[in-house]
Amino acid sequence: MDKYEIPPDAESRLPSNDKVTGRAARFLLGRYKIWPIISHLLDKTVPHYRHSYWYNMGGILLFLFSVQVITGILLMIYYRPAEPWLSVQRIVMEVPFGNIIRSVHHWSANLMVLTIFLHMFSTFFMKAYRPPREFTWLTGLGLAALTLLFGFSGYLLPWDDLSFFATRVGISEIDKAPFIGGWLGDLARGGPDVTLDTIGRFYVLHVTVLPLLILGLISAHLLFIQIQGMSETDSFTALPPEKKKYSKFFSDYLFGEIPVWLALSALLIALAAAFPRELMPEADPFASAPEGIKPEWYFLSQFQLLKLFPGSIELLGLVILGLVPLSFLVLPFIDRSIPADSRGRVILKLGIVAVLGLTAFTIWGWLS
């Protein structure tokens, strides 16, 4: 049989043949010609300097995503889209540890959105989006959008009066989009009103369509990063070679992440235990809306901005709202990979304005 020769480079790096790991590695490498991929991954390094902790954000997101997958699967066991509120009430009141699992799912979702913002803006300020990393940036934006859709679709599923009216308000913003808005809104709701038909749509979106899409995008995002390696800031690149420090990804850097995962697990369980997710009274499509209807915090800034454009000029608000993601999309094609570039400095300042604006509008929306 035509057996794949183990490359000499691999021979010198594999554990010796009298160890189980060494024999297993040779068994696999003799059959699958993947040594170039393995050696590429083994050589992966992470720049080690003052700003290195920002490189943790992606790993944290993967961790939180895994928590969402596990808690989500567990919640699906008792959740019934035909009687959404009753089934969630059962999870909260009757199922052992149900309340904790639901609350961890809630808190992990919120931390995930928060970390996405941190990940995105650290990428922005370290200018890691510039060529040749355009597609890492674009897939990252797609992942951020999918995460927000996860949040919006998951919010309705408990079917309490808060989530019911918040979703009604949220989709009514879609209705106002020009030309296809009304059609899109009806498609999202499954009719002119938010009903159990909407649950069917949101549930399928939340537990099958979005997970499939996000798995594909995560794979592409990670693949691009593995191929191109970690981005370095201009100031790090400008250092003399003897001053540049790197950690090996396997396994120095990876082991260094374990305390972060442990801390996150502890944080999630503490948050879930101290601040369990509430379940409001069941949604009543006939009753008046309860007071204090607010979207989740990550939609507050958009919500607050739209409030500035009431009535007939609301479309203008929607256009401004649409320009923000659009400018993020074209960003890597505008900025140049030149250190201390004048265009780059303008973009940096605009980024600071964006962060301040986002924060200010979120706080404003929270308070009003």
Partner 1 sequence: MAENENKSRRNFLGILGALGLGWIGALVYPIFRYLSPQKVPDPFGEDGLALVENINPADVARPGMGKNGGYGGRGLIVFRNKSNKLKAFDSKCTHAGCNVEFQGDKIYCNCHGGTYDLNGKNIAGPPPKPLTELGVEEKDGALYVFRMVNDKAEGA
Whose Cβ is closer to partner 1: residue 69's or residue 204's? 204
Distance CA 285, CA 194 (A): 8
What is the token pair recorded at 340?
Answer: 């201390």
Please enumerate in sequence order all residues whose Cβ is within 8 A of that of 190, keeping only pairs 6 or more positions apart, or say none: 197, 198, 200, 201
For 282, phi and psi rounded to 5 degrees? -60, 145
Task: Return the number of the residue (201 or 336) whose C-beta is nearest partner 1.
Answer: 201
- The CB density around residue 65, as the number of other CB atoms within 10 Å, is 20
Question: Cβ of residue 209: shortest distance to partner 1, in angstroms?
Answer: 12
Structure-token pair, residue 111: 């931390």
- In the complex with partner 1, which residue's Cβ is closer, 168 or 277? 168
CA–CA separation, 100 and 277 (whole Å)? 9
CA-CA distances (angstroms) from residue 44 to 22, 220, 304?
21, 17, 44
Q: Measured from the CB of residue 289, what is the shortest distance to partner 1 in angstroms?
A: 4
Residues contributing to the site for partner 1 (CB under 8 A) = 165, 168-169, 171-173, 186-187, 189-193, 195, 197, 285-293, 307, 310-312
Nearer to partner 1, 122 or 195 (CB): 195
Question: 55 or 164, CB closer to partner 1?
Answer: 164
CB of 352 to partner 1, least distance (A): 31
Minimum Å gap between C-beta 307 and partner 1 is 7
SS3 letters across 127-192:
CCCCCCCHHHHHHHHHHHHHHHHHHHHHHHCCCEHHHHHHHHHHHHHHHCCCCCHHHHHHHHHCCC
Closer CB to partner 1, 44 or 294, in the complex = 294
Smallest separation, CB 361 to partner 1 (Å): 16
Least distance to partner 1, CB of residue 206, Å: 16
State the minimum distance, in angstroms, from the CB of residue 311 to partner 1. Answer: 4
At closest approach, how far in Å is the CB of 290 from partner 1? Answer: 6
> Which of 195/226 has CB closer to partner 1?
195
Q: How far is the CB of 288 from partner 1 (least distance, A)?
A: 4
* Torsion, CA 268, CA 273, CA 277, CA 280, rounded to 10: 180
Q: Between 36 and 192, name the residue whose CB sits nearer to partner 1.
A: 192
Q: Which whole-number Å values give the CA distances from 45 to 110, 222, 228, 234, in the listed order?
A: 30, 15, 11, 17
Nearest CA to 268 among 91, 60, 32? 60
Distance between CA atoms of residues 44 and 58, nearest Å: 15
Tell the burial category of 71 from Cβ atoms under 10 Å away from its Cβ (0-12, 13-18, 19+): buried
**Residue 285: strand, helix, or coil:** coil
Complex with partner 1: residue 54 or 297, whichever CB lies closer: 297
The residue type of 38 is: I
